[in-house]
Structure 1
Amino acid sequence: MIDFAGIRQVQMRIAAIQEQFGVPGMPFQRKLDSEIEKARGVRGADAAAAHRDAAQDAAPKALRAAGAKGTTEALPIADKPLADLVREASAKFGVDPKLVSAVAEVESGGNQNAVSGAGAVGVMQLMPETAAGLGVNPYDERENVEGGAKYIKEMLDTFGGDVKKAVAAYNAGPQAVKDYGGVPPYRETQNYVNKVLDIYQ
């Protein structure tokens, strides 16, 4: 069953970040309201089935290789323009593009229109506060990918290049990783890390 508690607070946070970055609010708000109404129409097992089917549909697309200019290495992102954005952002911040694309795949299936129940936005599922701290507009696909790559780089630097800890920090936050001295004992984070590393390796 989908829990809509707090959805208005999420909408207010999204509206605030839209205003901060000068993103036109109404088209996005209408789209968000439309998606919420659609979700409300799906009940119980139907909701779980719809979510599962969407995830299964997205995975094969994202796992198909996409080439890019000047390189033959395939990334786990089906969309070539997105794969190119990942490569550019990765080069800009000195991060392995395969790692950035693996995070993008697990976060959103490479979908810039994805918005989580908690308010995370876009391909790299940036929280508005995180995006603001990174100096990027999460509603712009290029900036969203750049923000994600920059944040991954920050997490790698924070944890001495330890990819597993950096990926865990991307999901659970760096403080949780520091507190537990590694991947926190949260099922969601453990599953997330395993999925990212399976794609990355």
Structure 2
Amino acid sequence: MRKLILAFFWLAAATAQADVYISIDAQGGYVLSNVHRPGRHYERVISDRIDQAGPADAQLITGRPYADLVAAAALAYDVPQALLHALIKAESGYNPKARSAAGAVGLMQLMPDTAKEMGVEDILDPEDNVQGGARYIKRMLTLFDNDITLAVAAYNAGPDAVRRRGAVPPFAETRRYVPTVLREYRKLQGLADDSPL
């Protein structure tokens, strides 16, 4: 059966030009996907080189501002580029000089103490800021067992607020922020708005 499934996807790859991953679910069935989600173990069965014409979501990501910086940070900290872009769009609208009333700074709106903890030397330097933000969201993903919703909530409201409730905290800003980031994240991955993460 696996050979039949793989043969089908090898044939599909000739026209689709996309990465395809396979994993085994809890019931022992095969799960095929063109999206590699954090926290799940996949084996790539079809690989599409980045310089080839790729899926629409890859083009959406590579066409974004600071795409090279985001790609490097995503690779360094094993987080999805789409998630970093979604956070940057929500946090600063890609403005590297953005400052919030609360004191957050730069593309990923790092608080000075968080930036220092993440090893950021120049909080206004786009590369340094994105590296620090990627390191921080990776920490949140690890802390919340790769639950992207809770990690994004913790990025906004702080991990303690999320841990105390075991859910997205009832803060108005966070309740607006989380769906905004997740909507953009899904869009950049070519997923429907209600697709599971």
* Per-residue deviation, 1:127: 0.6
Q: Which runs of 4+ in 1 moved over 2 A?
A: 69-72, 74-80
Q: Is it true that 1:159 corresponds to 2:144 in the alignment? A: yes
- Ranges in structure 1 where 5+ consecutive residues have no aligned partner: 1-68
User: Is the Cα contact below 8 Å between 1:107 and 1:124 reproduced in 2?
Assistant: yes
| Candidates 112, 125, 132, aligned match of 1:128 | 112
Between the aligned residues of both structures, percent identity stands at 48
Structure 2 counterparts to residues 22-41 of structure 1, below 5 A: none
Greater helix fraction, Structure 1 or Structure 2: 1
Partners of 2:61 and 2:81 within 8 A in 1: no
TM-score by length of 2: 0.64
Conserved in 2, the CA contact under 8 Å of 1:111 and 1:122? yes
Aligned-partner Cα distance in 1 for 2:88–2:51: 21
Match in the other structure for 2:98: 114
Counterpart contact for 1:77–1:105, Cα < 8 Å: no
1:93 maps to which residue?
Answer: 77
State the TM-score, normalizing by the size of structure 1.
Answer: 0.62
Check conservation: 1:76, 1:199, Cα contact below 8 A. Answer: no
| 1:110 CA displacement | 0.9
Partner SS, residue 153 of structure 2? helix
Matched, 1:142 2:127: yes
Q: Distance in 2 between matches of 1:88 and 1:169?
A: 23
- 1:195 aligned onto 2:180: yes
**Is the Cα–Cα contact under 8 Å of residues 76 and 105 in structure 1 kept in the other structure?**
no
Unaligned runs of 5+ residues in structure 2 are 1-49, 187-197
Residue by residue over 1:12-64, the C-alpha shift from the partner in whole angstroms, topping out at 9 and shown as x without a partner, is xxxxxxxxxxxxxxxxxxxxxxxxxxxxxxxxxxxxxxxxxxxxxxxxxxxxx
Quick check: 1:75–1:83 contact (8 Å CA) kept in 2?
no
Q: Matches of 1:77 and 1:112 in 2, distance apart?
A: 18
Out of 88, 93, 96, which is 1:104 matched to? 88
Q: CA deviation at 1:155?
A: 0.1
Q: Considering only CA atoms, is the larger Rg found in Structure 1 or Structure 2?
A: 2
In structure 2, give the amino acid aligned to 1:154.
R
Size of the aligned set, in residue pairs, is 132
The one-letter code of the counterpart of 2:181 is V
